[in-house]
Amino acid sequence: MNPLKSILGTIVAGFIISIVIAVWDSTPVASAGWSISVWLHVLAGVVWIGLLYYFNFVQVPAVATATADTDGPGPAAISKYVAPRALAWFRYGALVTWLTGAAALEYVGGFSANMFFTNGVTVIGIGAWLGTIMLFNVWVLIWPNQKKLLGIVSATDAEKAKAKGVAFIASRTNTMLSIPMLMCMIGHAHTLPF
């Protein structure tokens, strides 16, 4: 049986390979809890930010093109089949990224010390706040407004027009914030000077 023929098999195979590498690697780590938290944090972050970039660089322009193409199939398939599934992975990727990041912060000086800068401003603390703002945007601004646009909840044309603007700006804000957030995420491990 080829594990690559199903998404579950593919994911399980990826985890098995990762565990083999982790067991084989003789590099000492601070703790197993920290390593697992960071690994899951990065994995969930790739899902979250990958979908954020997909929405901003691929889906939004494609829907605009499909809408403008009077002889084409239109954007209905994307809105009906692709967007709801992608938004589910996006939302929960954001949530898991934040939760595993909070767990990882506990191993590097404590969650509250990094989030509230009680031991000074740190690159990881700045990254945590950027991620927190982005998580807020996902759950409070993007998702509720996308539900209106996708017809998951009823909305008037005026409400949909407003929802489109709010979701768009929140998504673009997250794209902008993702750049320094990713720098902070890796900067801590690569000892940036702050």
CA proximity to 22, closest of 44, 3, 14, 186: 14
Q: What is the pLDDT of residue 104?
A: 87
pLDDT digits (tens, 9 = 90+) for 38-80: 889 999 999 999 999 999 999 999 999 998 998 888 888 898 8
CA–centroid distance for 174 within its chain: 9
pLDDT digits (tens, 9 = 90+) for 136-194: 999 999 999 999 999 999 999 999 999 999 999 999 999 999 999 999 888 776 665 54
Pinpoint the alpha helices (H) of 120-190.
Answer: 123-136, 143-149, 157-189
pTM of the model: 0.87
Confidence of residue 29 (pLDDT cuts 50, 70, 90): low
Count the Cβ atoms, other than its own, within 10 Å of residue 39: 14
Contacts of 76 (CB under 8 A, 6+ apart): none
DSSP H or E run through 120:
none
